[in-house]
Chains A and B, each alone.
Chain A
Amino acid sequence: YQTFEGDLKWDHKDVTYRILNYSPDMDSALTDDAFARAFKVWSDVTPLTFTRLFDGTADIMISFGKADHGDPYPFDGKDGLLAHAYPPGEGVQGDAHFDDDEYWTLGTGPVVKTRYGNADGAMCHFPFTFEGKTYSSCTTDGRTDNLPWCATTADYSKDKKFGFCPSELLYTFGGNADGAPCVFPFTFLGEEYDSCTTEGRRDGYRWCATTDNFDKDIKYGFCPSRDTAVIGGNSEGEPCHFPFVFLGKTYDSCTSEGRGDGKLWCSTTDNYDDHKKWGFCPDQGYSLFLVAAHEFGHALGLDHSNIRDALMYPMYSYVEDFSLHEDDIQGIQYLYGPKTGPDPKPPQPTTVPYPDPDITDPTNDPRPTEPTTTTPVDPANDACKLTKFDTITVIEGELHFFKDGHYWKMSNRNDGNQGPFSVSERWPAVPAVIDSAFEDILTKKIYFFSGNRFWVYTGQSVLGPRSIEKLGLPNTIQKVEGALQRGKGKVLLFSGENFWRLDVKAQTIDKGYPKYTDVVFGGVPNDAHDVFQYNGHIYFCRDRFYWRMNSRKQVDRVGYVKYDLLKC
């Protein structure tokens, strides 16, 4: 995945959106639903919520437009560019635009929602039979009012379930006439019109007057596209006229003749050669849900991914049973953290199993900023008598627990912990109190951090102490409290409520850091004194507890360090 330069993202979780206009291709209720489902794709995996506004300015303003639609990035007619969106921010930032020269569906052909009739707004069922004839589109057969209708089951004669199809004779959308149907003929600028027109508009949308005189009443609405209407071309919204003549030949169905791109088209009059009126024939169309989910990913801060199956891959491909790819989830949770369920509550101990000096007298174990002589740990003491360690990390595949110049090891092989061992015997240059440590996966070098200094061991040889500012960390950091390997050559370094990403090879901190721990790793304490990676999970430790996070950045366990990790 990629995020935009500077990890642009919303600085609030309750994001708002507003639908500014609709496409004539789909009933507005279907469009509303497609957008709501597209937002749910992202709210299902993040703490974000999406609230629809019906006026004023929302974070994400959604609109349809054609060709030059008012921003510096014009669309390009049918196919090609489908939509675009801007990363989070003020003004046009965060907005999403959809190319209305496309044929918007749910990805598998016409979605025709009926109105009135006796099917409660059910979708047309294509094909359906009526009086022995099979229909694969709406029809006016059987009616004298020229209103297109369809059956909502396969057999009208048997079920008698029907509804009316989108038609400007039935309703309009948008405009200022509250959805009233067109009135034909109507007068506009002194001219009479018998059908919807794009006259008077630059955006190519078809409209009509809802009274017989627009000049007088100024009442209008936009015309819904009929399911048989052509797309694009120069006759948007008109139905094909079959048969039609093209280059002297007669055609009874759509054809790709005359085009180099193989797209199916038809004439909307009986003779193309004479009238040159044409459009593309309805095809599977593009899923408004899928394209919107992709564009909303941009509006939330995700750039394109190079994972072919990811939603944020630049190219469109229809998917029947959609689910977010891991890459998309990692990307969006990198920005906003995972969906936070109830905050994990560490188990409250009913009795204190051991005399626990740490919680009785905080002065008992002040965290020295500079390494000092350590309070002796009786080597006979096993690790189970301690509640808090200086640091925990994996070295050579084994968990290491460090405390005051000693360390214990937990191998996967057996249940017991081994130790204590003396730190100074194995790593003589390193002070007794270690704030954090990690073994670089690629080079096997071991980094130790104490206060604002660090040491790097390669086998027995050591480099250090050096100031952590050498790595690009700010001098305001008291100590590095945790280290997480993130793939090859990157390590996250935690301190307080923040973390930085270290490029180990370049020995410097990546741009765009620090980030807040609780934003990216939602659900864990943001004052953890230790963070480490173990067996594919991330552990955040505070006092005697740990919060375990899985690869999807969900906290899947809270427990005791000594029982679950040290196996006491």
Chain B
Amino acid sequence: WSLPLKSVFVTFPGDIMKNMTDGELAEGYLKKFGYMDTLQRSGFQSMVSTSKALKRMQRQMGLEETGELDKSTIEAMKKPRCGVPDVAN
């Protein structure tokens, strides 16, 4: 068997969707849709607020409320959706 081709990732000119890390994707998502307020928090506080925000998002989407950035949550964040926030603000 030949070794699987090592995929080369190319940055395409004009491609708005940057290759983000899952953490960046999640933080942007939680802020954009109102689960987390945009003011910066530090260290421990930030972790607590992220976990709480994740749980709220998981509840809204009918996912298991783990408070973790698990696979199903990341997949849900990549799905096409409406731009209106989920948490009224």
Q: Mark A residues whose CB is within 8 Å of B.
A: 2, 4-5, 67, 73, 75-85, 99, 101-102, 232-234, 247, 257-261, 265, 276, 278, 286, 291, 294-295, 298, 303-304, 306, 308, 314-316
Contact B60 A79 (CB under 8 A): no
0 or 1 for each of B64-89: is its CB under 8 Å from A? (1 = yes): 00000000000010111111101010
For residue B61, which residues in chain A have a CB less than 8 angstroms away from its CB?
306, 308, 314-315
For residue A75, which residues in chain B have a CB less than 8 angstroms away from its CB?
83
Known contacts being A258-B10, A259-B9, is A83 close to B83, with CB within 8 Å? Answer: yes
> In whole angstroms, how far apart are the Cα atoms of A258 and B19 in the complex?
12
Question: Nearest chain-B residue to A277 (Cβ)?
Answer: B13
CB distance from B42 to the nearest CB of A (A): 27
For residue B10, which residues in chain A have a CB less than 8 angstroms away from its CB?
247, 258-259
Interface of B: prevailing SS: loop
> In whole angstroms, how far apart are the Cα atoms of A308 and B76 in the complex?
12
Known contacts being A304-B60, A316-B79, is A85 close to B84, with CB within 8 Å? Answer: yes
Contact B9 A101 (CB under 8 A): no
For residue B14, which residues in chain A have a CB less than 8 angstroms away from its CB?
232-234
Interface residues of B in 1-47 (CB under 8 A from A): 7-10, 12-17, 19, 33
A and B contact pairs by CB, cutoff 8 A, 22 listed: A2-B88, A76-B17, A78-B16, A79-B80, A82-B82, A101-B16, A232-B14, A232-B15, A233-B14, A234-B13, A257-B8, A258-B12, A259-B9, A259-B12, A276-B13, A278-B12, A303-B86, A304-B60, A306-B62, A315-B76, A315-B80, A316-B79
Question: Nearest chain-B residue to A87 (Cβ)?
Answer: B84
Interface of A: prevailing SS: loop
Contact A233 B15 (CB under 8 A): yes
Contact B17 A80 (CB under 8 A): yes
Known contacts being A306-B59, A314-B33, is A261 close to B17, with CB within 8 Å? Answer: yes
> In whole angstroms, how far apart are the Cα atoms of A308 and B88 in the complex?
19
Question: Nearest chain-A residue to B7 (Cβ)?
Answer: A257
> In whole angstroms, how far apart are the Cα atoms of A286 and B82 in the complex?
12
Contact A81 B7 (CB under 8 A): no
Question: Nearest chain-A residue to B80 (Cβ)?
Answer: A316
Contact B62 A258 (CB under 8 A): no
Contact A314 B88 (CB under 8 A): no
Contact B82 A295 (CB under 8 A): yes
Known contacts being A278-B12, A315-B79, A316-B80, is A304 close to B86, with CB within 8 Å? Answer: yes
Contact B82 A314 (CB under 8 A): yes
Known: A80-B80, A295-B82. 6 other contacts (CB 8 A): A233-B14, A234-B13, A247-B8, A259-B10, A276-B12, A306-B60
For residue B15, which residues in chain A have a CB less than 8 angstroms away from its CB?
77, 232-233
For residue A5, which residues in chain B have a CB less than 8 angstroms away from its CB?
88
> In whole angstroms, how far apart are the Cα atoms of A234 and B15 in the complex?
8
Contact B80 A4 (CB under 8 A): no
For residue B79, which residues in chain A have a CB less than 8 angstroms away from its CB?
315-316
Question: Nearest chain-A residue to B29 (Cβ)?
Answer: A80
Find B16's partner among A76, A82, A247, A257 (CB 8 Å cutoff). Answer: A76
For residue B13, which residues in chain A have a CB less than 8 angstroms away from its CB?
234, 276, 278
Contact A308 B84 (CB under 8 A): no
For residue A303, which residues in chain B have a CB less than 8 angstroms away from its CB?
84, 86, 88
Complex A-B, nearest 6 residue pairs according to Cβ-Cβ distance, in ascending order: A77-B16, A84-B83, A234-B14, A258-B10, A81-B83, A316-B80
> In whole angstroms, how far apart are the Cα atoms of A47 and B32 in the complex?
34
Contact B62 A81 (CB under 8 A): no
CB distance from B5 to the nearest CB of A (A): 8
Contact B8 A294 (CB under 8 A): no
> In whole angstroms, how far apart are the Cα atoms of A260 and B83 in the complex?
23
> In whole angstroms, how far apart are the Cα atoms of A297 and B79 in the complex?
20
> In whole angstroms, how far apart are the Cα atoms of A102 and B83 in the complex?
13
CB distance from A266 to the nearest CB of B (A): 11
CB distance from A55 to the nearest CB of B (A): 27
> In whole angstroms, how far apart are the Cα atoms of A339 and B76 in the complex?
35
> In whole angstroms, how far apart are the Cα atoms of A183 and B12 in the complex?
31
For residue A82, which residues in chain B have a CB less than 8 angstroms away from its CB?
80-83
> In whole angstroms, how far apart are the Cα atoms of A308 and B80 in the complex?
14
CB distance from B4 to the nearest CB of A (A): 13
Question: Nearest chain-A residue to B76 (Cβ)?
Answer: A315
Find B80's partner among A73, A84, A286 (CB 8 Å cutoff). Answer: A286
> In whole angstroms, how far apart are the Cα atoms of A485 and B72 in the complex?
38
Question: Nearest chain-A residue to B16 (Cβ)?
Answer: A77
> In whole angstroms, how far apart are the Cα atoms of A397 and B59 in the complex?
35
Contact A84 B88 (CB under 8 A): no
Contact A304 B62 (CB under 8 A): no
Which residue among B17, B19, B79 has the maximum number of chain A CB atoms within 10 Å of its CB? B17
Which residue among B8, B15, B79, B86 has the maximum number of chain A CB atoms within 10 Å of its CB? B15
Contact B86 A77 (CB under 8 A): no
Known contacts being A308-B62, A316-B79, A316-B80, is A265 close to B86, with CB within 8 Å? Answer: no
Find A73's partner among B8, B17, B19, B83 (CB 8 Å cutoff). Answer: B83
Find B60's partner among A101, A286, A294, A314 (CB 8 Å cutoff). Answer: A314
CB distance from B36 to the nearest CB of A (A): 16
Known contacts being A257-B7, A261-B17, is A4 close to B83, with CB within 8 Å? Answer: no
CB distance from A450 to the nearest CB of B (A): 38
For residue B33, which residues in chain A have a CB less than 8 angstroms away from its CB?
314
Contact A260 B88 (CB under 8 A): no
> In whole angstroms, how far apart are the Cα atoms of A81 and B17 in the complex?
11
Contact A265 B82 (CB under 8 A): no
CB distance from A308 to the nearest CB of B (A): 5
Known contacts being A5-B88, A67-B16, A304-B86, is A315 close to B81, with CB within 8 Å? Answer: yes
For residue A314, which residues in chain B have a CB less than 8 angstroms away from its CB?
33, 60-61, 81-82, 84, 86
Contact B80 A260 (CB under 8 A): no
CB distance from B27 to the nearest CB of A (A): 15
For residue A73, which residues in chain B have a CB less than 8 angstroms away from its CB?
83
